[in-house]
Amino acid sequence: MLVERGDDIAADGLDLEALLARILYHALDQPGSHAPAADGGRDDRVFGHPHAVALHPGQASGLVMAFEPGVVFTVFSLIVRSDRDFAGHACSLDCLTVNACVIMAVPMQFLSDNAAPVHPAVWEALRAADEADAPYDNDFLSRRLDEAFGGLFGCEVAALWVATGTAANCLALAPMVPPHGGVVCHREAHIEVDEAGAPGFYLHGAKLILAEGEGARLTPGDIEAAIDPIRDDVHQVQPHALSVTQTSEYGRAYSPGDMSALARFARERGLGFHVDGARFANAVAHLDCLPREACAGSDVLSFGFVKNGGMGAEAIVFFDPALADVVRYRRKRAGHLQSKGRFLAAQILAMLDDDLWLRNARAANAAAAEIAGACGSRLMHPVEANELFVRLSSSEREWLRASGFSFYDWGEDAARFVTAWNTRAEDAAALAKAIAEL
């Protein structure tokens, strides 16, 4: 078709993007007598482009697998000549990339940093760890964690691995909060909204005491407003710990000064101080400070790695090493003492090596900053890490999804976009351009 006609397409006034779509949607049973896949569906609530599935389920991906030479060469010839002026106007490689993603049902990924791939250095570390060693946390790699984190934070620590952020948060709080006690946190904290009651489960009935604060962050004043009305008697749950998220659920960072003020308040009130650091790396990258300054004065930090290039390992870092002694037993009882713990330790050490954790976070933050520059007044919160909350109507969100971007709705009139360590510069630029043109 197009290969034979070559440069004549400009004379015929054909639209290159429409033509590319026709090529890639072309039924496989016509050029190659292939039957379409029977189960080419996907979750269109997320990816939002139902037409490709409805018209030709599975055929676009099948086309690539079957490698129809004529069609693939046609597409390739279009791409390599995409800076030519077809039909009287230029068609950029960026536009072809975007539309190819839509047509092939491969969205540009801004759903969550949880969806990002595992960093190659982590895979290599896992392969290297695949040798016989002592079980549980007695292996060589697990025994290195205290020293590795001690060097990072510049103080004595005890560090334990677990498989999930939920377990990290709950086990971190366990030695500070009795079953009859409470944990003060923001009303939109992850431990309140997104952990299915796990704190109450792990803490044997302890309650979360919810506070309000701008940007899902807390100040000493916010905490006072939540706990001062609590009577000091046996009829009411007493606060025993404070938990804050760095960065917050709206991507806002606590400065070192903010953290120090919270730590002073916690000490004055006799509260343990926990930092949920699922995106701690992004906070440190934004603040450009020492890691300890980003969680200054805290007793324990849940240090997230899965969102930042890890596969399935998080760290609980105890700045009071005595707290870890209790958690070693609680971790086993909770089912998180893995028999081949060296594979969790290997992931964490690979991320700490040569500050890979920080470089990954900087890359994610930079991609978010590029997109933020195009959002203007649509931004609901300042972008201080790798999350963007953007005011968008339902029709605007539909158009963005049809243009090849995947993301989550955030209520009725907004969307959340999350960048990751592997977000391609061209994808971030394409999203920024699309939002700017709305």
Helix (H, G, I), strand (E, B) or coil at 66: helix
Contact 298, 270 (CB under 8 A): no
Enter the tokens of residue 387.
């999350």
Q: Which DSSP category does 136 fall into?
A: B
Contact 45, 33 (CB under 8 A): no
pLDDT at 217: 97
Enter the tokens of residue 272.
């343990």
Phi-psi region of 136 (alpha: psi -120 to 50; beta: other; left: phi over 0): left
**What residues contact residue 296 under an 8 Å CB cut-off, 6+ apart?**
256, 259, 260, 263
Reference 13, options 86, 68, 76, 119; nearest CA is: 86
Query: How many C-beta atoms lie closer than 10 Å to residue 65's C-beta?
Result: 11
H helices within 144-219, ranges in order? 145-153, 165-173, 190-193, 198-202
Class of 120-356 per CATH?
Answer: alpha beta
Helix (H, G, I), strand (E, B) or coil at 188: coil
- Antiparallel, parallel or unpaired: β 414-418 and 387-391: antiparallel
Helix (H) or strand (E) holding 366: helix 356-372
pLDDT at 31: 34
Handedness of CA 276, 282, 284, 286 (dihedral sign): negative
Q: In whole angstroms, what is the distance from residue 35 CA to residue 273 CA?
A: 60
Give the residue carrying structure tokens 């998180």.
336
pLDDT at 106: 57
Class of 360-436 per CATH?
Answer: alpha beta
Q: In whole angstroms, what is the distance from residue 387 CA to residue 99 CA?
A: 25
Is pTM beyond 0.75 here? yes
Reference 406, options 109, 115, 113, 112; nearest CA is: 109
| Domain spans, the chain | 2-106, 120-356, 360-436
Q: In whole angstroms, what is the distance from residue 428 CA to residue 150 CA?
A: 36
pLDDT at 107: 72
Task: Determine the distance from the C-alpha atom of residue 287 to the mean position of all C-alpha atoms in its chain, rounded to a whole number.
Answer: 19
Query: How many C-beta atoms lie closer than 10 Å to residue 130's C-beta?
Result: 12
Q: In whole angstroms, what is the distance from residue 376 CA to residue 250 CA?
A: 17
Helix (H, G, I), strand (E, B) or coil at 160: strand
pLDDT at 80: 40
Q: What string of DSSP letters covers 299-356?
A: SEEEE--GGGT-SS-EEEEESSHHHHHHHHHHHHHTT---TBTHHHHHHHHHHHGGGH
Gyration radius (Cα) of the chain, Å:
25
**What residues contact residue 313 under an 8 Å CB cut-off, 6+ apart?**
161, 162, 163, 305, 306, 343, 344, 345, 347, 348
Give φ, ψ of 228 to 5 degrees: -65, -35
Enter the tokens of residue 93.
């490689």
Helix (H, G, I), strand (E, B) or coil at 240: strand
- Antiparallel, parallel or unpaired: β 108-109 and 158-162: unpaired
Enter the tokens of residue 151.
């060097």
pLDDT in tens, the chain (438 residues): 433 334 443 444 444 444 444 444 333 333 333 333 333 333 333 434 333 333 333 333 333 333 444 444 344 444 443 443 333 333 444 444 444 444 444 578 999 999 999 999 999 999 999 999 999 999 999 999 999 999 999 999 999 999 999 999 999 999 999 999 999 999 999 999 999 999 999 999 999 999 999 999 999 999 999 999 999 999 999 999 999 999 999 999 999 999 999 999 999 999 999 999 999 999 999 999 999 999 999 999 999 999 999 999 999 999 999 999 999 999 999 999 999 999 999 999 999 999 999 999 999 999 999 999 999 999 999 999 999 999 999 999 999 999 999 999 999 999 999 999 999 999 999 999 999 999
pLDDT at 38: 37
Handedness of CA 190, 302, 422, 293 (dihedral sign): positive
Reference 212, options 197, 199, 227; nearest CA is: 227
pLDDT at 358: 98
Enter the tokens of residue 416.
């959340």
Q: In whole angstroms, what is the distance from residue 143 CA to residue 140 CA?
A: 5
**What residues contact residue 412 under an 8 Å CB cut-off, 6+ apart?**
394
